[in-house]
Amino acid sequence: MNKINATPDQDQARLELAIRMLGHEARTHLITACTGFSQDRIRKLWGKRFRDSNPRTPGARRHRGKSPSSIEFFVRNPWIQADASLLAHLFANWGLLQILPDLSTPAVRVEDPVTRGQRFCDAFEEFQAISPSSPLSFEHAWNMLDALTARRELLLLDCGDCHALYVQDALALDGRRCPTCRVIPACRRG
Ligand SMILES: [Zn+2]
């Protein structure tokens, strides 16, 4: 890992991003990728900010091991698929991916990893505000952005009934019906 030469302002931005990501229970390697902080510094930061926090304010947990890379999670049921579709739109709104006319979803190149991390947190926090009880975690969201933009294991399709865009497994047999239309057919929605 190259050490990033940062000004005090940039260092403060990296620190705030690391704390924000720890609050979302991001794994250490993701925080390192966005901030350039060493694993040791992240561990110490977590100990100071979360482990020893007031027991009445639940501290963030730390996940160990590899991040989830399965895409089966996102199409497990129509509710999670609808959440994934909402998140894909938020990724586009926050400048992390583009939705082109052919519905391909290339990544937006963001050179500064701190800026990219901040945009990702903005998108994820807006998602949580709209869908607060979703099981789709920060780590799931990170995997999903990668699966849509780089790995192309997920794609966007437009619904044949209501024309909404939705996320689908690239290898799935698909009936061109979005999660909402599968749960509530268009004919029953006034
Ligand atoms: Zn639909």
| C-alpha 185 – ligand 1 centre gap (Å) | 8
Q: What is the pLDDT of residues 121-177, one digit of tens each?
A: 999 999 999 999 999 999 999 999 999 999 999 999 999 999 999 999 999 988 899
Could you tell me the pLDDT band of residue 50, with boundaries at 50, 70 and 90?
confident
Q: Give the distance (Å) from ligand 1 centre to CA of residue 151.
A: 25
The sign of the CA dihedral 155, 77, 128, 131 is positive
> Per-residue pLDDT tens for 73-128?
999 999 999 999 999 999 999 999 999 999 999 999 999 999 999 999 999 999 99
CA 119 to centroid of ligand 1, rounded, Å: 28
CB 125 within 8 A of CB 89: no
CA of 166 to the centre of ligand 1 (A): 8
C-alpha span between 86 and 127 (Å, rounded): 7
State the Cα–Cα distance between residues 111 and 91, nearest whole angstrom.
Answer: 16
First to last CA, the chain: 56
Instruction: Note residues around ion ligand 1 (Cβ under 5 angstroms).
Output: 159, 161-162, 164, 178, 181
Measured CA to CA, the distance from residue 112 to residue 118 in angstroms comes to 10
- For residue 34, report the distance from its CA to the centre of ligand 1, in Å: 36
pLDDT of res. 51:
73
The span from the CA of 182 to the CA of 176, in Å, is 10
